[in-house]
Amino acid sequence: MRTLPSLPVREILPQLAEALKASGSVVLSAPPGAGKTTLVPLFLLDQSWRGDGKIILLEPRRLAARAAAGRMAELLGEKLGETVGYRMRLDNRVSAKTRIEVVTEGVFARMILDDPELSGVSAVLFDEFHERSLDADFGLALALDVRSALRDDLKLIVMSATLDVDRVAKLIGDAPILKSEGRSFPIDIRYENRNTGESVEEAMVRTIAEAHRSEEGSILAFLPGQAEIARTAERLAGRFGEATTIVPLYGNLSQKEQDAAIRPAPRGTRKIVLATSIAETSITIDGVRIVVDSGLQRLPVFEASTGITRLETVRVSKASADQRAGRAGRTEPGIAIRLWHSGQTAALPAFTPPQILASDLSGLLLDLAHWGVTDPSSLKFLDPPPETTLREARSLLVELGALDANGALTPRGRQVRDLALPVRLAAMAVSAAEESQAQEACLIAVMLTEQGLGGNNIDIEERLRRFRSDRGERAEAARGLARRMVADLGASQTNGERALPGQLLMHAFPDRIALQRGGRGRFVMANGRGAEVPETEQLAAAEMLVIADLTGRAGAQRVLTAAEITRADVEAHMPGAIVTEEQSFFDRASRQVRARRVTRLGAIVFEEKPLPRPSGEAAARALAEGVRQLGLAAITFPKDVGQLRDRIGFLHRSIGEPWPDMSDAALISRVDEWFVPFQGDAGGIDGIKGRDLAEGLLSLVPYDLQRDLAKLAPTHFEAPTGQRHPIRYDGDEPLLSIRVQELFGLKTHPAIGDGRLPLLLELISPGHRPIQTTRDLPGFWAGSWKDVRADMRGRYPKHPWPEDPANAIPTTRAKPRGT
C-alpha cells in the first residue's frame, strides 16, 4: 500500500480490497474527516484488477470535485491533470496520464450514456451518496445495468458519512458493508435556541460574535441561501477589525471566489465563512474549528401540475446536521453550535429527501429513452420516480417533439439529448439552429443554467447584454461552452439580425407565453395559470411575455426571469400555435352551457364571439366539465335515482367488482362514461333529468348483472301488512325504518340477497320516533320487547302492544274504539 496519510479510513483499506475482490461492489460508511474521499481512490490505484483502467470518483458539487482532485494531486506530489484530474461542465483538467478522474454526477451520467461499456474504466466511486441527487441515483442505476449486462468486472463503491447503508447494499446485490469508525478530532456540540421573533440572520450574527469573542479559530456558518448570507455579511461588516475576514461561499460564485473561501486564513488572522450546503461535504477549510449551523437549507421542489421548480426553505436532516458538525473537527478539536433546541434534533428527518421524488424528470426520461428504456422500473432505482411526474415529463417531451407517442426517441429528441442542457433549453437551441440562430440560443441557454451570469435582472435581454460584456473567467468559460454547443449542432452563423431572446425562448416555454390580463404586472399564461411581475419592473408594462422561470405556488406565482414578445412574434416563429375555433364551454356563473368562436393560444384568449347555445355531444361534454368543476353535489338526484346509486354503491362495498364504485370521486373520474352519452338535451346543470341520470348510472353495471340488482338489493321491503317500505343503502348496511306494529307475527328477521343479509331494523313508534335498532327480530321479541311495551303502552294507548308480538296480528291502524 502506497504511503497514505494516517486517517481513520486507512485501517479498513485491506478489508476494502478483499471485499472488492470477492464481490466487486462495496458500501462504505465513514464519518466526516475519515479520509474516504481522497484515500480510497489513491489506494485503488495499486490494485492488480485495475490494470491501466481509470478510477472515476463522483462528487455532488464542482467545489468538492476540484477540492478532492487537488488534495489527491498534492498527496502524490503532482500537478492537477497528471495522475489525478477533474472534469465538470465548464472546466476540466485531464490528460492522457490521468488515472483518477473526479467528475460531477451529471458529467458521469453523460459519460455512461455516451459509452455504455465505460471503456477504460475499472472502478466507479459514488461519494457523498447520502445527498441523493437525481444524477447520482440515475448514474448508479445505469452503472448497475452496465455491470449486469456488459461489465461484470466493473467495481462499484458507494460511499457516505451518513447513509442508509442497508438499503443501498441490498440495491447493489447485497454488497458487503464496511464502516470506518471514529472522527479525526472530537467535536463539542452546543445548542443556542433562536429567540422568538428573531430572524435567522440576527441569531447567526449574535452567535458568531459570541463565538469569535470566546473561542479561537476560524468559523464556518451554514445559512439556507445567498440572500441570508448577504444580509448576515452586511450585519457583521466592521465588527472584528482587519484580523478577521468575512467571506461568502455559495454556488453562484466564480471558481476563484470559491477557492479563496476555502483557502486557509493567513497566519495570525481568522476567517468567517458564510456558506450554503455547498460546504457540507468533501471539502476541508483549514483553520475552521467552529461551526454555526442555522439548521436550515433550501431545497428545490418540482410541482408536476405547474411544471415549475420552486425553492423551499426547510429544516435540515439529521444526516446533514451531522455532516455540518463534522466540518469543525477536520484538523483539530472543534465546536459545533446549533441554532435550535437540543430536543428538536430527534424530530429532524433522518435523511434529506431524494431529488428523484421532487424533481422535473423530463431530462431523466429523455436519457432513459436514449438508453433504450421506456419503463423506468426496469432499472434499479433506490426510490422509483413518481408516476405523476413521469407522466407530465412524457407529455412535455412529446409536445417538444423529443419523444414519439410510444415514448421512443425521435431524431429531434436525439439532438436535444446530445446538448448538455435542460430539455426545454435544448429544444430551443435545436429550433433556433433551424433558423440560423443557434449562437444566440446557446448563449441564452448557458446563461440561464449558470446562476448569476449576467446578474439577476428579471429581463433576460438585460441579463444577456451584461453577460456579453462580462470578461470574467466564468463568463468566458460559459461563452466557450455555448460555442461548442453551436458546433455540436452543426449550425451556421447567425443569418441576418439576431433574434430577440423572447422569440427564441418561445420554443422552450410555449406553455409560459403570457398575456397581460387584469392590470400592470398581472399575466395569464398559455397553461392557464397566472403570474405576476412586480409593478416597479419595466417588464410589468409589457403586453406579452415568455416566462423562463417562476417561483411560488399555483395561484401566486412570481416571475423571476422573462422576455418581452409580441403576438406577431408568436405568429412568425410558432405558426399554428394561435388557432381560431368554435368552443362549447361551461359558464360557471350561470351554470349553463355556452358556445363561442375564439382565437387563442392555449388558455390565452385573444378574441371571442358568442355563438348560439350548443346541443348534442359538444354540449354534453361541456356540461360534464361543469360537473367536474362544481362536483356531484351540484346535481339534484331525484329520490329514486339517489336510492339506485346507493344500492349499486352498497353492492360495490359488500361484493366488490364488477359492481361499480358510486362514490363522488369514482363517478367524477368516469363522468365521460355514464354522464356524457345520456345528456344530449340538457342546456345547464338545472336541466339535467333524473331518468337520464338513472340510465347513466345503470350503464356502469354490466348487463348480465343488472337483472340481479333487484334480487340482491331490492328497493322495498313488503311488510306482513302488505305495505311496501323503502330500504336505505346509504350507510354501512341496508336499513329498514318501520313501525313496530307492522312486524307483528313475523318470526324470522327480514333479510335481502336470498335471505343471506339481514336488514338493520330501525323500529319506530306510532309517532315515528325510533324505539330500537336490531339485527335479530326474534331475539328482540323475546327480550327487550317487554321493556319497550311497558314504556310505549302509556305513551300510545290507542295502539296495540301485545305481550306476544311474534304471534300477534300485524296492523297499520290504532285499536278500534272501546277495545
C-alpha pair distances (Å), 419 with each of 104, 433, 485: 17, 12, 7
Which of 647, 672, 705 marks a domain boundary? 705
Q: Clarify whether residues 282 and 340 are in a common domain.
A: yes
Q: What strand order describes the sheet that includes 604-611?
A: 579-587, 592-601, 604-611
Does 111 fall in a domain? yes
Q: Assess if residue 582 is contained within a domain.
A: yes
Question: How far from 235 is each of 177, 205, 258, 271, 277, CA to CA, in Å?
Answer: 46, 7, 21, 16, 21
Same-domain status, 44 and 133: yes
Inside any domain, residue 373: no
Cα–Cα dist 794/781, whole Å: 19
CA distances from 687 to 421, 637, 723 (A): 53, 12, 34
CA-based angle 125:100:168, to the nearest 5?
0
Q: How many CB atoms lie within 10 A of CB 254?
A: 14
User: What is the model's pLDDT at position 183?
Assistant: 61
For residue 207, being part of any structural domain is answered with yes
Q: Does residue 290 share a domain with residue 208?
A: yes
CB neighbours of residue 323 within 10 Å: 27
Would you state the pLDDT for residue 157?
A: 96
Tell me the CATH number at 254.
3.40.50.300
Residue 387 lies in a domain: no
For β-strands 296-303 and 187-191, DSSP reports them as unpaired
Residues 228 and 350 in one domain: yes
Residue ranges in the chain modelled with pLDDT below 70: 1-2, 182-184, 281-282, 304-308, 491-496, 553-556, 816-819
Regarding whether 719 and 700 lie in a shared domain, the answer is no
Assess whether 633 and 548 both reside in one domain. Answer: no
Q: Kindly state whether residues 169 and 313 are assigned to the same domain.
A: no
pLDDT of res. 335: 95
In angstroms, the Cα distances linking 634 to 396, 686, 725, 811 are 34, 9, 28, 41
- Residue 555 has a pLDDT of 64
As given in the structure block, the three cell numbers for residue 261 are 473561501
pLDDT of residue 310: 72
At residue 132, the pLDDT reads 87
Q: What is the pLDDT of residue 353?
A: 86
**Per-residue pLDDT tens digits for 148-163:** 988 999 999 999 877 7
Region of residue 576 (phi > 0: left; psi between -120 and 50: alpha; otherwise: beta) = left
Structural domain span for residue 94: 8-179
Q: Which of 705, 729, 754 delimits the end of a domain?
A: 705
Backbone φ and ψ for 207, nearest 5 degrees, come out as: -70, -40
- Where do the H-state alpha helices sit in 601-689? 616-630, 639-654, 664-669, 671-674
10 Å Cβ neighbour count for 220? 28
Clarify whether residues 87 and 233 are in a common domain: no
Grid cell locating 83 = 495522475
Residue 459 DSSP label? B
Q: In this structure, are 673 and 690 located in the same domain?
A: yes
Per-residue pLDDT, 186: 85
> Is residue 740 helix, strand or coil?
helix
Residue 104 in any domain: the answer is yes
The burial class, CB within 10 Å (0-12 / 13-18 / 19+), for 490 is exposed
The model carries a pTM of 0.72
Last residue of a domain, one of 512, 541, 574: 574
Q: Is 215 in contact with 334 (CB distance < 8 Å)?
A: no
Helices (H), 152-222: 165-171, 200-214
Q: Where are the beta strands (DSSP E) in 129-243?
A: 155-160, 177-179, 187-191, 218-222
Same domain, 309 and 442: no
Same domain, 99 and 197: no
Strand 218-222 with 288-293, pairing: parallel
Q: Which residue reads 346535481 in cell numbers?
A: 635
- As given in the structure block, the three cell numbers for residue 431 are 429550433
Are residues 207 and 122 both part of a single domain? no
- In whole angstroms, what is the distance from residue 132 CA to residue 122 CA? 23
Residue 240 lies in a domain: yes
- Which pLDDT score is estimated for 819? 52
- The domain tally of the chain equals 5
Question: Could you tell me whether strands 334-338 and 187-191 are parallel, antiparallel, or unpaired per DSSP bridges?
Answer: parallel
Is 377 part of any domain? no
- Helix, strand, coil share of the chain (percent; to 5): 40, 20, 40
**pLDDT given for residue 540 in this prediction:** 94
